[in-house]
């Protein structure tokens, strides 16, 4: 099962702020952070159920080493 991953506006704003924070400390750090996030998003899309369930259909994926967490939930818009 493949899942379409979408950022809520609040999550997109938080991601953009995090990228800016890393970029202020070095372009390479920002690039690495974005690459790690993309890898986790790809993994969530390919195998959403591999991540720990934290509440009902809500699952948590952690990006190391930043310890950034993604929470995913199946919605009627992306149910299959």
Report yes or no on 3 lying in a domain. Answer: no
pTM (2 decimals)? 0.76
Report yes or no on 29 lying in a domain. Answer: yes
For residues 1-40, one letter each, b for 16 or more C-beta atoms within 10 angstroms of the residue's C-beta and e for the rest, the string is: eebeeeeeeeeeeebeebbeebeeeeeeebeebeeebeeb
Query: What does the pLDDT look like over 38-72, one tens digit per residue?
Result: 998 898 889 888 888 888 888 888 887 766 666 66
Report yes or no on 64 lying in a domain. Answer: yes
Is the C-alpha dihedral spanning 74, 4, 8, 18 positive or negative?
positive
Please give the Cα distance from 17 to 22 (Å, whole number). Answer: 9
Please tell me the total count of domains within the chain: 1
- Categorize the per-residue pLDDT at 79 as very low, low, confident or very high, splitting at 50, 70 and 90: very low
Q: Which domain holds residue 25?
A: 9-72
């Amino acid at each position: 099962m493949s899942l379409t991953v979408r950022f809520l506006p609040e999550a997109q704003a938080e991601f953009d702020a995090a990228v800016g924070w890393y970029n202020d400390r070095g372009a390479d750090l920002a690039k690495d952070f974005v690459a790690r996030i993309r890898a986790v998003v790809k993994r969530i899309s390919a195998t959403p159920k591999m991540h720990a369930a934290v509440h009902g259909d809500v699952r948590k994926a952690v990006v190391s080493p930043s310890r950034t967490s993604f929470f995913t939930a199946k919605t009627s818009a992306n149910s299959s």
